[in-house]
């Protein structure tokens, strides 16, 4: 199985900051990577697929990059509604696997 | 608007069974594989399994933790996917989500249902 490792596991930032979360795959997954946002008590919300393609309706403050084994999610100009937990997931092969999550908290 | 609506969760005793449904609308259901993902309280997301389309023989695959106990099926005439949970264990207690990857211009992306809580307890 492909292991997905996110870093950091938690992150404190201020409103207006720009932050980057990384996700590493244990083997080459090309660009078959998605990013999700989850708020407490809510279902995950899709942000990005194919490593860098924004899902319809997602604001351009979210951007994704990378390929192969190294990927990033960058959020610019943080707003209160952006503080949540973020997950990456590879869909290059089954079983699909998620990163352990990155909790973004307000400083 | 793409919508996925789960139903069928609840409380079940260890060793028992439960069936979850995921009703889809807003896209051509028969063209999309369907996935199930779960999340135990305070934990991360865990992929449970998926079913492919008719063109791919409705092929299924499961996570090792549920293989042999859970079964994913679909009824394209009803735009609904199912997750049959058998021989449930306390560690299967989680919120279960269905998910659909859609590759249609204008709505492409990965969509999620609202989730259904399954509690396995005596």
pLDDT at res. B21: 98
pLDDT at B43 over 90: yes
Question: What residues of A are in contact with residue B63 (Cβ under 8 Å)?
Answer: 95
State pLDDT tens for residues A76-100.
999 999 999 999 999 999 999 999 9
Q: Which of A55, A97, A100 sits opposite B47 (nearest CB)?
A: A97
Question: What residues of A are in contact with residue B112 (Cβ under 8 Å)?
Answer: 43-46
Burial of B86 (0-12, 13-18, 19+ CB in 10 A): middle
Q: CB under 8 Å to A82, separation ≥6 — which residues?
A: A37, A61, A75, A104
pLDDT at res. B58: 98
pLDDT at res. B104: 87
pLDDT at B20 over 90: yes
Regions of chain A short of the pLDDT cut 70 = none
Tell if the CB–CB gap between B107 and A53 is shorter than 8 Å: no
Instruction: Establish if A43 touches chain B: CB-CB under 8 angstroms.
Output: yes
Q: CB under 8 Å to A80, separation ≥6 — which residues?
A: A15, A106
Question: Rounded to whole angstroms, how far apart are CA atoms B99 and B83?
Answer: 12
**CB-side neighbour CA atoms (13 Å) of B73:** 9
pLDDT range class, residue B105, cuts 50, 70, 90: confident
Instruction: Establish if A32 touches chain B: CB-CB under 8 angstroms.
Output: no
Question: Which string of b and e fits B88-119 if b means at least 16 CB within 10 Å?
Answer: beeebbbbbbbbbbbeeeeeebbbbbebbebb
Residue B77, Cα to own-chain centre: how many angstroms? 17
Inter-residue contact A107 to A15 (CB < 8 Å): no
Tell if the CB–CB gap between A55 and B35 is shorter than 8 Å: no
Question: Rounded to whole angstroms, how far apart are CA atoms A95 and B81?
Answer: 19
Instruction: Establish if A45 touches chain B: CB-CB under 8 angstroms.
Output: yes
pLDDT at res. A15: 96
Handedness of CA B91, A97, A36, A73 (dihedral sign): positive
Beta bridge partners of A106: A13
Instruction: Establish if A40 touches chain B: CB-CB under 8 angstroms.
Output: no
Instruction: Establish if B63 touches chain A: CB-CB under 8 angstroms.
Output: yes
pLDDT at res. A38: 98
Handedness of CA B41, B43, B48, B50 (dihedral sign): positive
pLDDT at res. B106: 85
């Amino acid at each position: 199985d492909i292991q997905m490792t996110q870093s950091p596991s938690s992150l404190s930032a201020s409103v207006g900051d720009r932050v980057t979360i990384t996700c590493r795959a244990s083997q080459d997954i090309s660009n078959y990577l998605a990013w999700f946002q989850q708020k407490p008590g809510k279902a995950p919300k899709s942000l990005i697929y194919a490593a860098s393609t924004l899902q319809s309706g997602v604001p351009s403050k979210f951007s994704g990059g990378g390929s192969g084994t190294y990927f990033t999610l960058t959020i610019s100009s943080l707003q209160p509604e952006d503080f949540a937990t973020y997950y990456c997931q590879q869909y290059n092969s089954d079983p699909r696997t998620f990163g352990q999550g990155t909790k973004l908290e307000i400083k | 608007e793409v919508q996925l609506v789960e139903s069928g969760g609840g409380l079940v005793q260890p060793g028992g069974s439960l069936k979850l449904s995921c009703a889809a609308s807003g896209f051509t259901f028969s063209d999309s594989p369907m996935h199930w993902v779960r999340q135990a309280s305070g934990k991360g997301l865990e992929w449970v399994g998926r079913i492919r389309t008719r063109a791919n023989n409705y092929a299924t695959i499961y996570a090792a933790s549920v293989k042999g106990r859970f079964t994913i099926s679909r009824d394209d005439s009803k735009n609904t996917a199912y997750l049959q949970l058998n021989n449930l264990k306390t560690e299967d207690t989680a919120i279960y989500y269905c998910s659909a990857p859609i590759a249609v211009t204008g709505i492409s992306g990965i969509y999620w249902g609202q989730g259904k809580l399954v509690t396995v307890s005596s």
